[in-house]
Amino acid sequence: MSIDATREPVIQAIDLEHTYDNGFQALRGIDLTIYKGDYVGLIGQNGSGKTTMIKHFNGLLRPTKGKILINGADATTLTVGKIAKQVGFVFQNPDHQIFCPSVREELAFGPKNCGMSPGEMKDAVEDALESFRITEFAEHPPAILGFGLRRKVSLAAVYSCRPTVFIMDEPTVGLDHRSARELLDIIGELNGNGDTIILITHDMRVICENTKRGIVLRNGKLILDGTTREVMSNIEVLRQTQIRPPQVIELSKELSAPDVAEFPLNVDEFINEFIKTKKAM
Ligand SMILES: Nc1ncnc2c1ncn2[C@@H]1O[C@H](COP(=O)(O)OP(=O)(O)O)[C@@H](O)[C@H]1O
Ligand SMILES: [Mg+2]
């Protein structure tokens, strides 16, 4: 995607490369701008470089060539702590992040450490409890909660720091359908309120039903970047990366006229389209 001057960039990768100490080049020539309010699905098979790229966004890795700008500032000039205030990252396993005696303290831990005043901290914690629908568990020890709730706590604990960008690595893995749906609804609401979201997932249905923009990595290179619909319409390119779009896309592409750009992206859209066509007949 070319740079959109009308929108506010929050993370920019400029000719980003990363070569690990053992000489393996995991990222090559990545040019990418994430804008405020984006809801990005980051896609690519295992080993394509997703985690390596994300670690540059939160300062855990530094570019071996090129640069990263975070809210306009060169990331090399910022400490990891400074970056963490702006870029919230939720690891795949929630238990890696949870360690406080109550949910409320867990959510207050980040805000306390990033220098919020007691008033701001209280508001941020209440807001995170409410947004993630866990207010009733505020005084519970996180360790006794079920997996789905612990996952919500780990997301809420990152969210309570009010990061500019919120990155989640496979947030729905291990959750049953209902809990996954609820979590995705919450994430959708955050994005609806203007938060910037980057979601890493192997689940193409999750991508098609939730994200607005798709970014595809293969062998450390950015091979597709566009609206989720544009990305998913590149079935051949996706296939080369072992990614198979949901079957509804193959079906709807098959049924749509070849020049139709707005083919249905998920089952809801497919059904709406079907009803519309039936009514027109
Ligand atoms: N610390 C490391 N040292 C050397 N190679 C690494 C290291 N971490 C990851 N890699 C390699 O970099 C490539 C990209 O890995 P990663 O970013 O974890 O991909 P993904 O998250 O898409 O699965 C893989 O080939 C992986 O083996
Ligand atoms: Mg990974």
**Ligand showing the shortest atom-to-Cα distance for residue 170:** 2
Q: What is the pLDDT of residue 181?
A: 95
Q: What is the pLDDT of residue 239?
A: 85
Q: What is the pTM of this model?
A: 0.90
- Give the Å distance between the CA of 53 and the centre of ligand 2: 9
CA-closest candidate to residue 265, choices 220, 219, 226: 226
Ligand 1 atom with least separation from CA of 48: 22
Q: What is the pLDDT of residue 152?
A: 94
DSSP string for residues in 29-49: EEEEEEETT-EEEEE--TTSS
- pLDDT tens-digit readout, 116-133: 899 999 999 999 999 999
Report the amino acid identity of residue 32. Answer: L
- Overall size of the chain counted in residues: 281
Question: Which tokens go with 108?
Answer: 């207050």
- Cβ–ligand 1 distance for 150 under 6 Å, the answer no
**Ligand showing the shortest atom-to-Cα distance for residue 21:** 1
**Ligand showing the shortest atom-to-Cα distance for residue 30:** 1
DSSP 172: T
- Cβ–ligand 1 distance for 24 under 6 Å, the answer yes
- Give the Å distance between the CA of 13 and the centre of ligand 1: 18
At 149, is the secondary structure helix, strand, or coil?
helix
Residue keyed to tokens 């970056």: 83
213 phi, psi to nearest 5 deg? -135, 140
DSSP 1: -
- Measured by CA distance, the residue closest to atom 2 of ligand 1 is 20
DSSP string for residues in 77-132: GS-HHHHHHHEEEE-SSGGGT--SSSHHHHHHHHHHHTT--HHHHHHHHHHHHHHT
- Give the Å distance between the CA of 116 and the centre of ligand 2: 31
- Measured by CA distance, the residue closest to atom 4 of ligand 1 is 20
- Give the Å distance between the CA of 75 and the centre of ligand 2: 21
Residue 246 makes CB contacts below 8 A (sequence gap 6+) with 204, 205, 208, 266
Profile the chain (281 residues) by mean pLDDT over runs of 10 residues. 82 98 97 97 94 93 96 92 89 70 93 88 96 96 91 94 93 93 96 96 92 96 94 86 77 66 75 75 72
Question: Which tokens go with 147?
Answer: 């997996």
Q: What is the pLDDT of residue 91?
A: 77
How far CA 94 is from CA of 53, 105, 151, 155, 156, in Å, comes to 21, 16, 5, 8, 11
- Cβ–ligand 1 distance for 216 under 6 Å, the answer no
Q: Which domains does the chain have, with CATH numbers?
A: 9-245 (3.40.50.300)
DSSP 46: T
**Checking phi first, is residue 133 left (phi over 0); if not, alpha (psi -120 to 50) or beta?**
left
